Structure 1
Amino acid sequence: MTKAVLGIIGGSGIYDLPGLTDLREERIASPWGEPSDALRIGRIGGTKIVFLPRHGRGHAIPPSEINYRANIDVLKRAGVTDLVSLSACGSYRSELYPGLFVLIDQFVDRTVKRESSFFGRGCVAHVSFGHPVGPRLQQRLADAAKAEDIAFVKGGTLVAMEGPQFSSLAESLTYKSLGYDLIGMTAMPEAKLAREAEITYATVGMVTDYDCWHEDHGAVDVATVVKVLHGNAETAKRLVARLAADFPPEREPCPAGSHNALDNAIITAPEYRDAALLAKLDAVAGRVLKAA
């Protein structure tokens, strides 16, 4: 069995994770470039935690310039098996109000400027992504939220936009009419890359606003978001602490197949694989490449 290591990616407003014992910072080199920040590695109870602020401390990196590949790669190198993403988002449903947490289980990718795969020319792979979120990890988040009396909804679809601008009214009304529940700027390609790296992924959508569709609320702006962020951040830290306290010591197989997503994904014949790309894939795909 593989030792479980819980990774946490902090979104807007979450640049640190208090309460970690045996805390140390580590900068891990990645062949994919510079990650958002140093990793903060410690423990909550018996669970090893690896924390990374997605936008860097001080929120210096915009959504389109985050090096998602380097972030997932260094988390993999640090041994992360299960990854929880904490992300601020807008809501397309009146009942999904600011301050509510939504345990998202589906995504629609509308980003256009980001590198969305570790694989490419010289080593082509296609992973299954029908169910992007690990059901067991999502249920553990739900159990932790119940235990901490945190208001949440289990299930929902988030559309990931490029940003950094917020939506136009036409975009907002279109996404609402299509039945999407939430909108954010960072879930993609993060979830796709986690699946390629065989890391079980789940995301907590922390609702901050109603985008700009709601007739009784003004268009979203940074001031609106920041008002809600602080409360959400404190609640998220309680959620993570409870999740970690109850986390299993060994990695659980994922019903969505994230723990062995690469078993039948690489299609390039061994004799045609590019050595330079294979070297960069040592952490992400080392398990299957060594067996080839």
Structure 2
Amino acid sequence: MKIGIIGGSGLYQIDGFKILEEKELNTPFGEPSDKYIITEYKDKTVIFLPRHGKGHKFPPHLINYRANIWGFRKLGVKYILSISAVGGINPKMKGGDFVIANQFIDFTKSRVSTFYEGIFSKEDDTDLNDKVKEYLNNKRVVHIDVSEPFCPVMKESLKNALSSLNLPFHQNGCYVATEGPRLESSAEIKALSILEADIVGMTLIPELVLARELAIHFASVHIVTNFAAGISENRLTSDEVIEMMKQRNEDIKNILKQFLDNIPSNFNCSCEEVLERAAI
């Protein structure tokens, strides 16, 4: 079982994880954010990628999301867990809480969010023989269903991991993705709260959508670092985000280990069927 982890730099430095290789990949969509750190944990291969690159060199709107997700496909990954910091919109989701996303609202503006571009599609460079290759190489236009965008089996494993560690968490959160890199205005956050968004961030989309286009099981867990604009009484700073992530660093690693220990070998979900009858 190969599981991809998208998060921050150094997340792979966990007791019990044996680093096997750091692999640099090229893709039809350009270069990923960094090398993939291939590790072994018990009976699983766990592959880490820092989405912003080591040293946080890529802002959210300039991350090569397609290359990042395609690289996981080339490495044979069928499951991806995304970890990131978010701002809290729902007053119940306060700083230090963990949130498992179950829905999203996309307010990004300039990001390419599909692999399937019809006559402009890139050729599949993998050895796989599946619908992804068929659709890309035949220049098909594809419309995937995202009614239930996250893998229910992975979400349940996350819930069990958080419960077993007695950490504060919310098992259903609507993530709104904004373009960045600026933070949101108070008026924007007020509008998003009317739309019943719970948390706000800048990276989940198009990560999630691209993974789903490749029929990869995907789930995400987020750390609320502070309340969003207009909800917080203070000026928002990056220092708050960095400090909260430092405070929760060991908790994140423990969640990851519990998640990997409890994830089943057989998945009873429809994630891998998403490309059936999706092409025109």
- What TM-score do the two structures reach when normalised by structure 1? 0.85
- Kept in 2, the 8 Å contact 1:6–1:83? The answer is yes
Match of 1:48 among 45, 48, 63: 45
Match of 1:225 among 219, 232, 241: 241
Q: Per-residue deviation at 1:225? A: 1.4
SS at match of 1:71: helix
Q: Residues 190 and 131 (structure 1 numbering): CA distance in 2 closer, same or farther, change over 3 Å?
A: same
Tell me the residue number matched to 2:134: none
Percent same amino acid among aligned pairs?
34
Q: Per-residue deviation at 1:22? A: 4.5
Q: Which moved more, 1:257-266 or 1:166-175?
A: 257-266
Tell me the residue number matched to 1:17: 12
Q: Residues 44 and 207 (structure 1 numbering): CA distance in 2 closer, same or farther, change over 3 Å?
A: same
- Kept in 2, the 8 Å contact 1:25–1:40? The answer is yes
Match of 1:32 among 29, 52, 58: 29
SS at match of 2:240: helix
Match of 2:169 among 142, 152, 166: 152
Q: Per-residue deviation at 1:174? A: 1.2
Query: 1:28 & 1:246 partners in 2: Cα distance?
Result: 30
- Kept in 1, the 8 Å contact 2:178–2:201? The answer is yes
Query: 2:216 & 2:249 partners in 1: Cα distance?
Result: 24
- Kept in 2, the 8 Å contact 1:26–1:39? The answer is yes
Tell me the residue number matched to 1:86: 83
1:119-162 Cα deviation digits (max 9, x unpaired): 01222111111111011100001111112222211001011000
Tell me the residue number matched to 1:284: none
Query: 1:251 & 1:22 partners in 2: Cα distance?
Result: 26
Could you tell me which amino acid in structure 2 is paired with residue 69 of structure 1? R
Tell me the residue number matched to 2:122: none
- Kept in 2, the 8 Å contact 1:91–1:209? The answer is yes
SS at match of 1:156: strand
The answer as to 2:160 corresponding to 1:143 is yes
Could you tell me which amino acid in structure 2 is paired with residue 102 of structure 1? V
SS at match of 2:156: helix
Query: 2:262 & 2:176 partners in 1: Cα distance?
Result: 31
Alignment of 1:213-252 (within 5 A): 213-214=230-231, 217-248=233-264, 250-252=265-267
SS at match of 2:153: helix
Q: Per-residue deviation at 1:178? A: 2.1
SS at match of 1:245: helix
Tell me the residue number matched to 2:127: none
Could you tell me which amino acid in structure 1 is paired with residue 244 of structure 2? V
Q: Per-residue deviation at 1:234? A: 2.2
Query: 2:77 & 2:249 partners in 1: Cα distance?
Result: 22
1:203-248 Cα deviation digits (max 9, x unpaired): 1111001011225x31321112112111222211111111112233
Tell me the residue number matched to 1:264: 277
Structure 2 unaligned residues grouped into runs of 5+ = 120-139
The answer as to 2:206 corresponding to 1:206 is no
Tell me the residue number matched to 2:128: none
Could you tell me which amino acid in structure 2 is paired with residue 229 of structure 1? M
Aligned length: 258
Query: 1:75 & 1:199 partners in 2: Cα distance?
Result: 9
Q: Which moved more, 1:23-32 or 1:164-173?
A: 23-32
Could you tell me which amino acid in structure 1 is paired with residue 274 of structure 2? A
- Kept in 2, the 8 Å contact 1:169–1:213? The answer is yes
Match of 1:66 among 60, 63, 79: 63
Query: 1:245 & 1:221 partners in 2: Cα distance?
Result: 36
- What TM-score do the two structures reach when normalised by structure 2? 0.88
Could you tell me which amino acid in structure 2 is paired with residue 261 of structure 1? V
Query: 1:161 & 1:9 partners in 2: Cα distance?
Result: 19
Q: Per-residue deviation at 1:194? A: 0.6
- Kept in 2, the 8 Å contact 1:63–1:185? The answer is yes
Q: Per-residue deviation at 1:23? A: 2.5
Match of 1:6 among 3, 7, 13: 3
- Kept in 2, the 8 Å contact 1:92–1:213? The answer is no
Query: 1:9 & 1:22 partners in 2: Cα distance?
Result: 16
SS at match of 1:164: coil
Query: 1:24 & 1:230 partners in 2: Cα distance?
Result: 26
